[in-house]
Amino acid sequence: MTNDVNAETVREKVRTGYAQIAQHGSERRKSSCCSGMSAVDSEKLARQIGYSVEELAVLPDGANIGLSCGNPSALAALRPGEMLLDLGSGGGFDAFVAGPKVGSTGRVIGVDMTSEMLAKARRNAVAYRERTGLNNVEFRLGEIEHLPVADASVDVVISNCVINLSPDKPQVWREIARVLKPGGRVAVSDLALLQPLPEAVREMVEALVGCVAGAVSVSETERMVWNSGLTDIHLNRKSGYVETLVEGQDPLYLKIIPHLPAGRTPSDFITSLEVRARKP
């Protein structure tokens, strides 16, 4: 019972934080999932972590609210006609990037547990359809630990800086394995730990909502993926992402730095991690 209560407390903190982001936008928030940057800086960050000008051009205004720590659509090497699932889809950023790649014969489903984010994504979907002429993206309310998607029904699962927020990450990976078709693949960008965070950082609510306090080690991430039944696992650390946020005076990381040991920086503890795997 205690674990269930703690898990729901974590979900409620995350849900509240992301509802505020959805309502107020990147330019007004004090801290965010993986960035506290302004709308202009969010576009700059997106280019730095691998999104092309062409990918960003199809996005509805306001879809990029600076919550990314990688480009999972690029990792997934998407093909026309594929069915894709985006975990923690937020305002629809990665879903809209993926839509043109899977084309009119493909489908993108975004899942998010925050109703305010879901409403924002559905509003953005109207502009996406007008801009691209495609009607291939939908959004569903749900938790990534209990996906509202049928067994063995999707070709690709992506997620961008979200799984670390879950209080039950092994269950998330089991759900990914459940919904993937045999031979299906997963491409995730997330935050992971290179070494344990100081206790003061883990206790900060800002760090929790900021994709930091809930992160686990690179080796634990690999173990969870393997235990879910997925194979062909590839992990790639991208430490430059955290350094970019620190150099950009990200509000979250400015709060973290005073709680670190003298002479240490956030990138000594935290890395962006690309995870690719396949269902046998």
Q: What integer pLDDT is reported at residue 141 of this predicted model?
A: 96
**Burial of 278 from C-beta contacts in 10 A (0-12 / 13-18 / 19+):** middle
Q: What is the pLDDT along the chain (280 residues), one digit of tens a residue?
A: 335 647 676 667 666 666 566 565 544 334 444 444 444 466 666 766 667 777 777 777 666 655 567 788 888 999 999 999 999 998 999 999 999 999 999 999 999 998 988 999 999 999 999 999 999 999 999 999 999 999 999 999 999 989 998 989 999 999 999 999 999 999 999 999 999 999 888 887 667 666 787 899 999 999 999 999 999 999 999 878 888 888 878 888 888 899 999 999 999 999 999 999 999 9
Asked if residues 93 and 63 have their Cβ atoms less than 8 Å apart, the reply is yes
Convert the pLDDT of each residue in 7-35 to its tens digit.
Answer: 676 667 666 666 566 565 544 334 444 44
Q: Is the dihedral of CA 218, 219, 220, 225 positive or negative?
A: positive
* Parallel/antiparallel/unpaired status of strands 231-238 and 270-278: antiparallel
Q: What integer pLDDT is reported at residue 24 of this predicted model?
A: 59
Sheet holding 180-193, edge to edge: 137-141, 107-112, 83-87, 154-160, 180-193, 270-278, 231-238
- What is the distance of C-alpha 12 from the center of its chain? 17
Distance, CA of 276 to CA of 133 (rounded, Å): 30
User: What residue segments make up the domains of the chain, in order of their start?
Assistant: 2-278
Distance, CA of 12 to CA of 195 (rounded, Å): 27
CATH code linked to domain 2-278: 3.40.50.150
Q: What integer pLDDT is reported at residue 53 of this predicted model?
A: 74
Q: What integer pLDDT is reported at residue 249 of this predicted model?
A: 82
Q: What integer pLDDT is reported at residue 52 of this predicted model?
A: 76
**3-state secondary structure at position 119:** helix
Asked if residues 270 and 198 have their Cβ atoms less than 8 Å apart, the reply is no
For 168-194, give the DSSP string.
-HHHHHHHHHHHEEEEEEEEEEEEEES
Q: What integer pLDDT is reported at residue 35 of this predicted model?
A: 46
Distances (CA, A) of 48 to 146, 207, 279: 33, 23, 30
Q: What integer pLDDT is reported at residue 71 of this predicted model?
A: 83
End-to-end Cα, the chain, rounded Å? 35
Distance, CA of 208 to CA of 41 (rounded, Å): 22
- Angle CA(249)–CA(44)–CA(102) in degrees, nearest 5? 135
Q: What integer pLDDT is reported at residue 54 of this predicted model?
A: 79
Asked if residues 267 and 246 have their Cβ atoms less than 8 Å apart, the reply is yes
Q: Tokens standing for 178?
A: 């459940």
**Beta-ladder partners of 154:** 180
pTM, entire model? 0.85
